[in-house]
Structure 1
Amino acid sequence: MATNDFLLGPVLSFRGVGQDGTWKVTALIGIREGAEVPKLRVEGRACAAPTQLLIIRKERYLRYDLSCKAHKDERRVEYGVEGGPLWHFTVPGKDFAPRMAYVSCNGFSDPAGMRRLVRPANAVWEDLLVSHDKLLRGRALLDKEQLWHEVRIHDKGLQRFHVLLMGGDQIYFDSIWEDIPELKHWVSLARAEQLKFSVSTTLERKIEAYYFTLYRQRWLSEKRRPWGTGEPNRDAADALARIPTVMMWDDHDIFDGWGSYTPEMQRSPLFQTLFRHARRAFWVFQMQHALDDLPELVDGTPPGFSSQDPILTPIAWSMRLKKDSLALPLLDNQPGFTSVFQAGPLALVVADLRTERSRTQVLGAQTWRQLKDWLSKLDTSVAPRHPGTRCQHLLFMSSVPVAHPKLGLAEGVLDNVGQDHVLDSSADDLRDHWSHDDHEGERKRLLEVLSETARLKRLRVSLLSGDVHVAAWGTAYRRDLPASETWAQIQQFTSSAVVHPSLMGVVERLFLGVLNSSARTPQTIDVQYNVEMMLFPGQSKYVMPARNWLALELDVGNDEAKLWATWRCETETAFSNHLQTVPPARQG
């Protein structure tokens, strides 16, 4: 079968590390129903028959197992279609932390905004892939002051990324309001009519088709050169085929602002229909699970009980997916998709901040309970045969920044206007933020849970965020402890966007000035916690209005680990480097 017959893929997905040290990776490929099933090979051996995830509208989506053993040293693994193009991904050495790249906002909410870009839409993806291919990644990512680090990695050879973290808005479905005539009409209705709007069978079919079709249109554009012909495209599809991904959705993977509308609108028939099909498509395309394995969400609100927040019945994922040896490591007994990983000295929490979101809630009670339980059991002991590989750093992926300039005046104004307007994102964008007054208590809870984990487990915690279309650096810290207690300092790295334009227009530039002004003032959470924006590395401002991506490397030695975080920010002529480090956890 020719790869130019692919409807989608290959899209690699990282599934975690097996108990025997297996580096578990899958590949998603879409073909036309009735077409010959591609035969894939990995490391010269034939892959097992693929798992069928979905057949819909004469399209068939398959998942292949590309898992392989981790060896003492890292290595490049070759895979491809028999008689067709080949791709590669890189597996880290056993018990080593993976090198990672982080991106968010892979798309656009308004096509007109893309016309304002001074460089091609895929320029940031191209820079990431060029850096991924460099023999000495240090030369691309580290400034001259870190020359020692470049020299240290010189003898390692290839320094490719092992995992691509995608923190939300992997696809933008905002266009659904314009492209489906019935929804375009719905937007023009009075609010009372919108709330009682009935979804016909015909409309539901159109909605389902839209969510399942847009992935192949956006993730493997018909305009790109087919696989194996000419120079690499160096676009998102290239990256997804060469670096195993970890994905978590945010609002645009559903539609702009999902979760921050009024309770009445969130529960309306139309919104619930849209969410249901966005969830099903997310499960197949981003999480690479069979659609038949996805249970419907069940409303667990007790009879006669009224609440603004959704009370959803937890799902026993371990039982639901027990027959799938390549199931994602989903946190058990939660209604959402929060996942947890551990690879050598690094742990990763990929938080689902959308399934249970409301105006006054980010995560539900059961998810909080299960998250705290998993963190309490996090293994930070030293492996007997591998000293120095104990878990030393926890990364928490939060699609929406925990540390971000607080715009109190704007919140007060927008809380009373712009409600439930699906084409006006200003109000819901602010309500989405952890710093919004409605979420402030839950933000404090998150910081308490993470800092207590850092104290008890003797590790550092860092936050990875996207969403806001700027690069930024923030920190949350305990006011009642000296600076020598580094475990109590949680740094946040915001990287956004990889495709979506940054703040470019006149009004947006004015908003940028407001952000920088507000960022000067630390946010006092309570007597213990402060959240503070830091000057962006190498800049005299707090937020960097540029498309960007983030490189992450955990440098382990002598039972201590330092995290290197480097933003690559787009300029009109090149890309600039902005480096920040997180030193090892210390207790005074």
Structure 2
Amino acid sequence: MKFRTIRIGPVPVGIIAHDDIASHSGQNAMTAARAPLIGPILILDNIGDGTLTLSALFIVDGGEHPPPVETPGGVHDVEVLARFDSATVWRTRFDLPADRPSEYHWNGESYLVAGDLRDDLRIAFVSCNGEEIGDLEREGSERNAMWARLCQAHREDPFAMLLHGGDQVYADEVTQGHPLSEDWPSQFPDDPSQADLADLRHHLRERFFDRYAALYAAPEFAWIAARVPSLMQWDDHDICDGWGSLRRWQTHSVVGQTLFAAARESFLIFQQAAAEGDLPARFHDPAGHHLGWGVRAPGLRILAPDLRSERTRRSVMGTGGWSMMEAEAATGASGRTLLMSSVPLLGPRLSILEALMVVIPRMQKYEDDLRDQWQSRAHRAEWARMLRLVRDMARADGQNLTVVSGEIHLATRAVMGLAEGLRIDQLVASGIAHRAPPVAWARFLGSLAQLGEAPLPRHRVRILPLPGQRGRYVAQRNYLVLERRSDTWQATWNLENSGLTPPLSL
């Protein structure tokens, strides 16, 4: 079978079989027939010695073998990463320079990569690529409107990296359709047979595959993901809603652990282009007990602690996560540190909302959502510990530290002032595909933020409006652009209705 790239307008919409060309306009993003070959999807494995180490991911129906990737360094054949009922996931690894723009070739097409990380630099940040209910049924152009806008921004001024801050996939519905997990998390059998558990594992694994394949086949995502290397961090919906903030009897049950194992395998395959025992060098723990990672480029360090693998109702991070963060704090960095926190590190006081839930039964269903946050009263001591750590990191480096987050389906920012004129900036961009909550919710959170918060003495957290906006929270879909120009950093949000914000100096 011969494959070729088809185009609708100026944007390639993906790879389909030569004898199976179909229109993608106006169809449901997820339920349309999947192309026989999806990819390449670029994943940034690591940065070092002037080199980008990359993986390219392909999803291929049946037994077809995708063509190799060609670079100035040679021809790089693909290998099987994982097999599913109807398709195989393939991967190849290769290097490109990190000190200049470059390109790779695949299937007769050239893909330009803006890989110069030395001086001026543009990084895009996205989160929340989906919705909890019915995401597979949404019409494609509506669902992926902000992805299309991000593609246009890349064509006008290329991005060197694409950071994904969590909830890359909304997997909440994968448990449906199997008797062991149909009523998850409220009800499930205590002691299912090994045969039934094996059947559940297969069911979940295939359902995760279906969702990832549908997301990666979306024309807007596929176009930019083939040209901008991605770095991804997971959050709860990559597993299930509220994972880690659910009750212990739920998450530690055999059904819960089977769900987590399937989600983790899928996260490694589709978000990291990796398998068990084969993690890229940027991961702190090669054994993968936690999935935090870090990369360094000239004048830049990006850290992404894992806030899910070790999470419990009483802790956000476990031993592995704290070991990673403390090691990074002890090492230091020259230049700017970007800390990816899948849930916002700086936020308003939530104890009032949590107290209301105790006396208003209909609000108790939102308890897990609040328990997920650093600001929950259950995590108060741990939150202060993390804030002290990042404060000390900023002081040691002599640079402002920037935190980027998603999770809340709103755009906002916060500041925590430090001594010696330094500060921590929190930038929240959420979500790229998840539709915004009501404006009234944004206003309510803005009112709550007026109360102020000071988890560390003399370091008050302030929630502030985006440049050009009046309210502290903006209820519009959005993504974030981080730019370094002549060693000066700035941030710009692209809001679905309001457009680009004025730049914010960091």
Identify if the C-alpha distance between structure 1 residues 363 and 35 changes in structure 2 by more than 3 Å, giving closer, same or farther: same
State the superposition RMSD in angstroms: 2.7
2:430 to 492, 496, 499: 496
Report the equivalent of 2:128: 105
Whole-angstrom CA distance in 1 between matches of 2:227 and 2:363: 40
Report the equivalent of 1:349: 303
Report the equivalent of 2:174: 176
Q: Does 1:272 align with 2:257?
A: yes
Identify if the C-alpha distance between structure 1 residues 253 and 417 changes in structure 2 by more than 3 Å, giving closer, same or farther: farther
- Structure 1: stretches of 5+ with no match in the other structure: 135-158, 222-232, 295-320, 322-326, 381-390, 583-588
Q: Whose strand proportion is higher, 1 or 2?
A: 2
The CA deviation at 1:196 is 5.4
Out of 98-107 and 26-35, give the one that drifted further: 26-35
Where in structure 2 are the equivalents of 1:419-498 lying within 5 Å?
426-478=366-418, 481=419, 485-487=420-422, 489-498=423-432
Where in structure 2 are the equivalents of 1:238-387 lying within 5 Å?
238-291=223-276, 293=277, 327-332=280-285, 335-378=289-332, 380=333
1:569 to 479, 487, 495: 495
Report the equivalent of 2:469: 539
Identify if the C-alpha distance between structure 1 residues 449 and 80 changes in structure 2 by more than 3 Å, giving closer, same or farther: same
Whole-angstrom CA distance in 2 between matches of 1:196 and 1:410: 37
Q: Does 1:75 align with 2:104?
A: no
Identify if the C-alpha distance between structure 1 residues 290 and 203 changes in structure 2 by more than 3 Å, giving closer, same or farther: closer
Whole-angstrom CA distance in 1 between matches of 2:204 and 2:275: 20
Whole-angstrom CA distance in 2 between matches of 1:194 and 1:258: 19
Q: Does 1:394 align with 2:337?
A: yes
SS at structure 1 position matched to 2:114: strand
Say if 1:261 and 1:419, in contact at 8 Å, map to a contact too: no
Report the equivalent of 2:441: 511
Quick one: which amino acid aligns to residue 373 of structure 1?
A: A
The CA deviation at 1:212 is 2.7
Q: Give the TM-score normalised by structure 2.
A: 0.86
Q: Does 1:23 align with 2:45?
A: no
Q: Deviations over 1:547-575 (max 9, x none)?
A: 0010001233xxxx32110000011xx62
Whole-angstrom CA distance in 1 between matches of 2:140 and 2:64: 41
Whole-angstrom CA distance in 1 between matches of 2:308 and 2:211: 20
Identify if the C-alpha distance between structure 1 residues 17 and 203 changes in structure 2 by more than 3 Å, giving closer, same or farther: closer
Identify if the C-alpha distance between structure 1 residues 186 and 354 changes in structure 2 by more than 3 Å, giving closer, same or farther: closer
Say if 1:186 and 1:194, in contact at 8 Å, map to a contact too: no
Whole-angstrom CA distance in 2 between matches of 1:165 and 1:392: 19
The CA deviation at 1:393 is 0.6
Whole-angstrom CA distance in 1 between matches of 2:63 and 2:167: 32
Tell me the percent identity.
27
Q: Deviations over 1:104-159 (max 9, x none)?
A: 011111228987x998211111111111111xxxxxxxxxxxxxxxxxxxxxxxx3
Identify if the C-alpha distance between structure 1 residues 17 and 187 changes in structure 2 by more than 3 Å, giving closer, same or farther: closer
Say if 1:177 and 1:187, in contact at 8 Å, map to a contact too: no
Whole-angstrom CA distance in 1 between matches of 2:213 and 2:430: 23
Report the equivalent of 1:59: 87
Report the equivalent of 1:310: none
The CA deviation at 1:253 is 0.4
1:237 to 193, 202, 222: 222
The CA deviation at 1:91 is 1.1
Q: Deviations over 1:331-354 (max 9, x none)?
A: 137721110111000101011100
Identify if the C-alpha distance between structure 1 residues 215 and 553 changes in structure 2 by more than 3 Å, giving closer, same or farther: same
Say if 2:185 and 2:250, in contact at 8 Å, map to a contact too: no
2:153 to 125, 131, 143: 131
Quick one: which amino acid aligns to residue 39 of structure 1?
A: P
Q: Deviations over 1:429-475 (max 9, x none)?
A: 11111111111211111111111111122222110000100000101
Identify if the C-alpha distance between structure 1 residues 133 and 392 changes in structure 2 by more than 3 Å, giving closer, same or farther: same
Say if 1:337 and 1:351, in contact at 8 Å, map to a contact too: yes
Report the equivalent of 2:16: 4
The CA deviation at 1:17 is 1.8
The CA deviation at 1:576 is 3.3
Bigger-Rg structure (1/2): 1
Q: Deviations over 1:75-105 (max 9, x none)?
A: 2424221x3x443221115x33642000001
Q: Give the TM-score normalised by structure 1.
A: 0.75
Whole-angstrom CA distance in 2 between matches of 1:68 and 1:122: 29
The CA deviation at 1:182 is 4.4
Q: Does 1:413 align with 2:367?
A: no
Whole-angstrom CA distance in 2 between matches of 1:99 and 1:31: 32
Quick one: which amino acid aligns to residue 340 of structure 1?
A: G
Out of 256-265 and 464-473, give the one that drifted further: 256-265
Q: Does 1:403 align with 2:346?
A: yes
Say if 1:262 and 1:420, in contact at 8 Å, map to a contact too: no
Say if 2:57 and 2:90, in contact at 8 Å, map to a contact too: yes
- Residues paired across the two proteins, number: 473
Say if 1:265 and 1:420, in contact at 8 Å, map to a contact too: no
Say if 2:339 and 2:403, in contact at 8 Å, map to a contact too: yes
Runs of 4+ with deviation above 6 angstroms: 112-115, 416-421
Identify if the C-alpha distance between structure 1 residues 416 and 239 changes in structure 2 by more than 3 Å, giving closer, same or farther: farther
Whole-angstrom CA distance in 2 between matches of 1:471 and 1:544: 5
Quick one: which amino acid aligns to residue 132 of structure 1?
A: H
